[in-house]
């Protein structure tokens, strides 16, 4: 699993995603959530992380019981670099599209399409039953906002989190 961090004109932060102002002056009121649409189907030919097939708690427990920290192989490191590059490209495209009049639902659909094109799995999708491919936090939403049909307005501040997983070596995901 890889995460991309980018904040325009600011040093990189520990969180994944980008924060940008959607043209204009900062809005001074809290946003009201829109309607969250159902998850879109995801192609079966792209492998999904283990947490999609079983409960998150069981997935983590099984992993800790059978795996110890280890040094990654060159092939695994290359797989991590590839997934990071994909996440970076998806985030760059979404940042360009985040303009007044577009909904975070539309940004999510675009992110899913871009992941499918690259044979990557959008990691938030179905993680602990999360219904979307990205997290979008607008204005007063602190983190992990769920994309909905509310359109961005001039002055909105949006954070977009992009994380992708790829099946690279055996059952190891990045």
Tokens of 65: 């019981």
Reported as half-sphere exposure (CB side, CA atoms, 13 A), residue 72 has a value of 13
pTM value is 0.71
The domains of the chain are located at 2-26+41-173
- Tell me the pLDDT tens digit for each residue of 147-157: 999 999 999 99
Nearest to 125 by CA among 63, 39, 8: 39
| Residuewise pLDDT in 10s, the chain (174 residues) | 544 433 332 222 223 455 555 655 555 556 677 888 878 888 888 877 766 766 555 656 666 666 677 788 888 888 889 999 999 999 999 999 999 999 999 999 999 999 999 999 999 998 888 899 999 999 888 778 899 999 999 999 999 999 998 865 555 555
- Rounded to an integer, what distance in angstroms lies between the CA atom of residue 89 and that of residue 95? 10
Q: Which CATH architecture has domain 2-26+41-173?
A: Alpha-Beta Complex (3.90)
């Amino acid at each position: 699993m890889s995460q991309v961090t980018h904040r325009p004109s600011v040093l990189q932060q520990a969180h994944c995603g980008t924060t940008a102002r959607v043209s204009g002056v900062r809005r001074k009121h809290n946003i009201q959530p829109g309607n969250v649409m159902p998850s879109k189907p995801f192609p079966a030919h792209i492998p999904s992380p283990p947490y999609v097939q079983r409960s998150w708690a069981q997935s983590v427990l099984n992993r800790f019981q059978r795996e110890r920290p280890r040094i990654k192989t060159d092939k695994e490191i290359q797989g991590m670099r590839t997934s990071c590059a994909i996440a970076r490209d998806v985030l760059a495209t979404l940042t360009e599209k985040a303009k007044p009049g577009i909904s975070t639902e539309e940004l999510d659909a675009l992110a899913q399409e871009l992941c499918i094109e690259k044979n990557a799995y959008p990691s938030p999708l179905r993680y602990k039953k999360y219904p979307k491919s990205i997290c979008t936090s607008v204005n007063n939403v602190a983190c992990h906002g769920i994309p909905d049909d509310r359109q961005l307005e001039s002055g909105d501040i949006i954070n977009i989190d992009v994380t992708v997983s790829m099946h690279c070596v055996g059952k190891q995901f990045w």
